[in-house]
Amino acid sequence: MAGFEAGRHVLPEPERKQSVVTAVGIHDQHEPFRAIAPVTPPPAAPNVVVVVLDDLGFGSSSAFGGPIRMPTAERLAGHGLRYNRFHVNALCSPTRQSLMTGRNCHSVGMGGTTEMATAAPGYSGFRPASAATLAQILQGNGYSTAAFGKWHQTPPREISAVGPFDRWPTGEGFDTFYGFMGAEMNHWYPQLYRGTTPFEPTRRPEDGYHLSEDLVDQSIDWIRTQRSLTPGRPFFTYLAMGASHAPLHVAPSWPERYQGQFDEGWDVARSRILERQKELGVIPPDAALAPWAEGLPHWSELTDTQKQLSARFMETFAGFTEHCDTQIGRLVDALERLGEIENTIFVYLLGDNGASGEGGVDGTFNEHRLGHGIADDPEQMIEDIDLLGTADSYPIGPAGWAMALNTPYQWTKQVASHFGGTRDGLIIHWPGGISGADRGGIRPQFHHVIDVLPTILDCVGVPAPTLVNGVHQQPIEGTSMRYSFADPEAADRRTTQYFEMCGNRGIYHEGWMAVTRHGIPWQMIPDPERRFENDVWELYDLTTDWTQSNDLAARHPSRLRQLQDLFLVEAAKHQVFPLDDRVTERENPTLAGRIDLLAGRRSVTYHGGMRRLTEETTPNIKNRSHSITADIEVSGDANGVVIAQGGAFGGWSLYLMDGVVTYHYNYFALQRFTVRSESVVPAGRHTVRVEFEYDGEGAGLGGAVSVFVDGVLDGKGRVEATIPYYFSFDETLNLGVDLGTPVSPDYPRLDNALTGLVHEVRIDLGEDQSGLAGPDGGKYARVMSAQ
């Protein structure tokens, strides 16, 4: 790229040799020594801020004609550029991996979320060292770097106290990290990390705590500190908000701002959004409203109860999102006060995929139920409607609103074939690099999230490196968008782009697009009989059909065939095969067949004080017999948790209640099963054991529970149903305390530590009895051999 300084192709910069020592004593050293200076960025290099919102959708934000007031997005768009043909991958981790590497997600091992990883190259969840991140490149060129919020790019098996940490944010080029590692987080009671160290905020919701506010506070504090200590260095701040991904957690005052505004439903909302989008110019005047999703009810088909619930879900989502955008506004204000806004490239990505349809027809107060195919009853939800958004809920909204928030396009998150899953609004604000005449403009060039990295490098003035940490780099697959800053009529420089997620796939080439939708997002467990070769392909001429509304497959079969062949070429090039349509099933490591930290181990011993163990760094007790043996020491009538996994929305806990040994199984907060010892444990050191005898072959069955104290059977009971795939994305396993939300209502949300000592706890596993996992690595191996 013309204009770049010589060098900077090898990172980190090779060490420079010092002057030769010519004397024994310093007074006789005549040749001066040069101090080793740090790597310097290019002259006048701008700061970089990248902000990503989650699960938003093209038609959500007021900046793109949506019903959700987002004043910060409007403010930045009004003084920057809006890209209205910008695309992402249809799930969280793939978009973030592409954003950070400038490569297609399958090329860097992230063909699904980290929790859905398998052993296949395009889906392993392991970023290759040959694909250095944006943070590594900027850090190697003299930038201070910091990441805040959602990461979701580290293999789950590596999220533990022993790492390895090279795929954590601080191992991927960030000097500082404060946030969470997985798909989502409780915004009232988050379990976070500072660097690689677990951290729980000391403030609570009753003190005014909220995660979105915390993340922005941390970002502002870091930028202020950086400018005070190293004002000569530019900074890169990556802020990935948990909003607006489930759970929809926000104070009641924010949804109240939207009270009654969605009572007319999603069909009316779509029409209104479409008209506003045309008025703003973010879609053409002749753009059609894309067809409605098959199988999804229209508003008129809902009961009054369903309508009341759905409207409240949307009010909560809107309030959650506006609250988040307002926090981003505080960050912009801080940059202005510091005098940095003019020389800062501010990239505001309004969604890492389309709005989520994973809430099904009615939404749910507990997202994990739908992930396991369990739908909430609206008549029961309506009784607790005022809990929506509070700490006593873990909600995700109905799919009908996701369709509306993706207006004018078809489908939702997961569906990589249609723009409802892949087209999101992008705003670039850079007063120092975008002329006043162009500010507030709309850019219609076709681009993809892999283009962000080369755009930033182009603006900063550094090349893509060829060697990073001794590893030769694979080619950057994105292309810079800077050519479009000053020319709204510039011809597209991205003319081909493949899309794939969960078996949904598409290929764009020179104005035409062929697509095939394989699955339905709110059906998280796919039909095992559906074969990829039977999927029906559609064809669209995007030069005349902005919204993929007019299927031309029957009229142009030869062009469709050409694009299908091109998809095969691109998919093979980027490690897309074998296609994998499993969603929830892949979130169980045994069934996914990915590298398992505890593979082959039937017994694991934990020691007192061990905490924050993620689900993939603990024994998989699901769908099998197992036992839990604890060595504890207590005084009389002890209370508190011995060991717990999960939280208020699903999990299990072993604890003492007034000296009584208690085992509690929380089945998605729908059913609760409790087995207690008959006697009180006296003061002293004791062995407490729970034996769970699984009912037989099959996933999610119940089992018999026996409680032993010092080897003597002291209580019996049953658990009638168990959680088959995963307990939680945000809760953890902890000894001596239940962090986050409580598994059992018997003890408080916080301050539930055992009044005694936990010396150690051993978990012993029986055979997997799900009937799904094979002896050679799980069902994945059988899927591979069948395709």
CB within 8 Å of 26: residues ≥ 6 apart: none
Count the Cβ atoms, other than its own, within 10 Å of residue 473: 20
Residue 785's pLDDT is 22
Quote the longest CA-to-CA distance of the chain.
93
Residue 19's pLDDT is 79
pLDDT(12) > 50: yes
End-to-end CA distance of the chain: 43
Task: State the Cα–Cα distance between residues 235 and 50, nearest whole angstrom.
Answer: 11
pLDDT(576) > 50: yes
Q: Do strands 47-52 and 603-607 pair parallel, antiparallel, or not at all (unpaired)?
A: unpaired
Query: For the chain, give me the number of helices (H) and strands (E)?
Result: 14, 30
How many angstroms separate the Cα of 68 from the Cα of each of 55, 65, 86, 214, 321?
14, 9, 20, 22, 7
Residue 376's pLDDT is 95
Phi, psi (degrees; rounded to nearest 5) at 136: -65, -40
% pLDDT > 70, the chain: 97
SS3 142: coil
Residue 783's pLDDT is 25
pLDDT(632) > 90: yes
Q: How would residue 775 be classed by pLDDT, with cut points 50, 70 and 90?
A: very low
How many angstroms separate the Cα of 39 from the Cα of each of 11, 139, 224, 232, 477?
10, 9, 22, 12, 27
Residue 477's pLDDT is 98
Give me the domains of the chain, ranges plus CATH numbers.
Answer: 47-255+262-496 (3.40.720.10), 497-587 (3.30.1120.10), 594-768 (2.60.120.200)
pLDDT(5) > 80: no
Residue 784's pLDDT is 23
pLDDT(2) > 50: no
Q: How would residue 787 be classed by pLDDT, with cut points 50, 70 and 90?
A: very low
Task: State the Cα–Cα distance between residues 172 and 174, nearest whole angstrom.
Answer: 6
% pLDDT > 90, the chain: 89
Q: Are 653 and 641 in contact (CB under 8 A)?
A: yes
601-631 pLDDT, tens per residue?
A: 999 999 999 999 999 999 999 999 999 999 9
pLDDT(402) > 50: yes
295-338 pLDDT, tens per residue?
A: 899 999 999 999 999 999 999 999 999 999 999 999 999 999 99
Q: How would residue 700 be classed by pLDDT, with cut points 50, 70 and 90?
A: very high
The residue that leads in pLDDT, 636 or 107, is: 107
231: preceding bond cis by omega (within 30 degrees): no
How many angstroms separate the Cα of 362 from the Cα of each of 163, 310, 365, 506, 635?
40, 7, 10, 29, 49
Q: How would residue 773 be classed by pLDDT, with cut points 50, 70 and 90?
A: low
Strands (E), 395-460: 425-429, 441-443, 447-448
682-691 pLDDT, tens per residue?
A: 999 999 999 9
Distance of CA 285 to the CA centre of its chain: 34
**What is the chain's mean pLDDT, rounded?**
94
pLDDT(782) > 70: no
Give the pLDDT mean for 91-109.
98
Q: Which two tokens stand for residue 260?
A: 């009654």
pLDDT(498) > 50: yes
Residue 771's pLDDT is 81
Give the pLDDT mean for 64-87.
98
Nearest residue to 363 (alpha-carbon basis) of 350, 346, 343, 380: 380
SS3 715: strand
Least confident of 237-241, 616-620, 783-787: 783-787
516-564 pLDDT, tens per residue?
A: 999 999 887 777 788 999 999 999 999 999 999 999 999 999 999 999 9
Residue 780's pLDDT is 25
pLDDT(786) > 60: no
Residue 778's pLDDT is 32
